[in-house]
């Protein structure tokens, strides 16, 4: 397994799990910061590899996709914050190699998204608000997971519009999905989806206690994609199996 973003918090956790495993081997630890045992440029590694897992930076997607396509290596893209052009590059790559792409590598979050879609189908006229909490060093807002959950609602309510925070004088429109980002302390990740009618409120939530769950999910995704044909895969497929 090639690990991109090897010096990041989740990258380090992923490498720890690989080192402790009897079934996994670290092919290369890649990080632009460099250092002992670190490959600074992905293209410098041309050794054996079965799969690449990316926990680096969204802007690195061009280099990663070019590399995986050239070598025919399946890719697990776990980085968030991709702009439309970068997202399009991922989609393009899925026509040439197997790509597993998820804004959140937690199996629990995948289950949450499924439950959110079910709730949106049943309570079609309710107000929907999403609250996400992360540590104060997180760069992108709202989180990729919050958007993933909003998309789960939108599958049942395609006319929905996203409202990021609230300010000014305007009443809430029925088709809004409110998305609110909180950044504080060392919070690993908490997501809450609230469905509210005039008579009742249902709250679905997920809390990450340790970053190891993202590394564990990435390993599950890597094992899942190894024998898959060319195409795009997400946590829904992994959860289905």
Superfamily the domain 2-101+212-240 falls into:
NAD(P)-binding Rossmann-like Domain (3.40.50.720)
The tens digit of pLDDT for each residue in 86-134 reads 999 999 999 999 999 987 888 899 899 999 999 999 998 899 999 999 9
The length of the chain is 241
Residue range(s) occupied by CATH 3.40.50.720 in the chain: 2-101+212-240
Q: In whole angstroms, what is the distance from residue 11 CA to residue 211 CA?
A: 10
Span 107-208: which CATH code?
3.30.360.10
Find out whether the peptide bond into 142 is cis, omega within 30 degrees of 0: yes
Tokens of 11: 């990258």
The dihedrals phi and psi of 21, each to the nearest 5 degrees, come to -90, 145
> Which are the catalytic amino acids?
134, 138
The tens digit of pLDDT for each residue in 174-211 reads 999 999 999 999 999 999 999 999 999 999 999 989 88
Residue range(s) occupied by CATH 3.30.360.10 in the chain: 107-208
Q: Would you state the torsion angle of the CA atoms of residues 14, 17, 23, 28, taken in this order, to the nearest 10 degrees?
A: 40
Q: In whole angstroms, what is the distance from residue 30 CA to residue 39 CA?
A: 5
The dihedrals phi and psi of 31, each to the nearest 5 degrees, come to -160, 135
The pLDDT of residue 193: 98
Predicted structure pTM score:
0.77
The tens digit of pLDDT for each residue in 151-170 reads 999 999 999 999 999 998 88
First to last CA, the chain: 22
Q: Is the pLDDT of residue 75 over 90?
A: yes
The pLDDT of residue 241: 56
Task: With beta carbons less than 8 A apart as the criterion, state whether 101 and 77 touch.
Answer: yes
The pLDDT of residue 103: 79
Share of the chain above pLDDT 70, in %: 100
Q: In whole angstroms, what is the distance from residue 54 CA to residue 91 CA?
A: 16
């Amino acid at each position: 397994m090639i690990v991109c973003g090897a010096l990041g918090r989740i990258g380090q956790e992923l490498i720890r799990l690989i080192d402790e495993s009897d079934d996994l081997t670290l092919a290369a630890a890649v990080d632009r910061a460099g250092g002992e045992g670190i490959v600074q440029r992905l293209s410098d590694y041309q050794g054996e590899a079965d799969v690449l897992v990316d926990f680096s930076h969204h802007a690195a997607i061009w280099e990663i996709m070019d590399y995986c396509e050239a070598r025919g290596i399946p890719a697990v893209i776990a980085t968030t914050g991709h702009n439309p052009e970068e997202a399009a590059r991922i989609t393009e790559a899925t026509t040439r190699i197997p790509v597993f792409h998820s804004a959140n590598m937690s199996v629990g979050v995948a289950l949450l998204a499924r439950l959110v879609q079910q709730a949106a189908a049943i309570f079609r006229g309710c107000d929907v608000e999403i609250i996400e909490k992360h540590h104060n060093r997180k760069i992108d807002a709202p989180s990729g997971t919050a958007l993933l959950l909003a998309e789960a609602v939108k599958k049942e309510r395609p006319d929905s519009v996203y409202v990021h925070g609230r300010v000014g004088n305007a009443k809430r429109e029925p088709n809004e999905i409110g998305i609110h980002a909180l950044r504080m302390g060392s919070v690993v990740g908490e997501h809450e989806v609230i469905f509210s009618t005039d008579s009742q409120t249902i709250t679905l939530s997920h809390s990450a206690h340790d970053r190891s769950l993202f590394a564990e999910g990435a390993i599950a995704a890597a094992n899942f994609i190894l024998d898959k044909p060319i195409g795009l895969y997400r946590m829904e497929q992994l959860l289905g199996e």
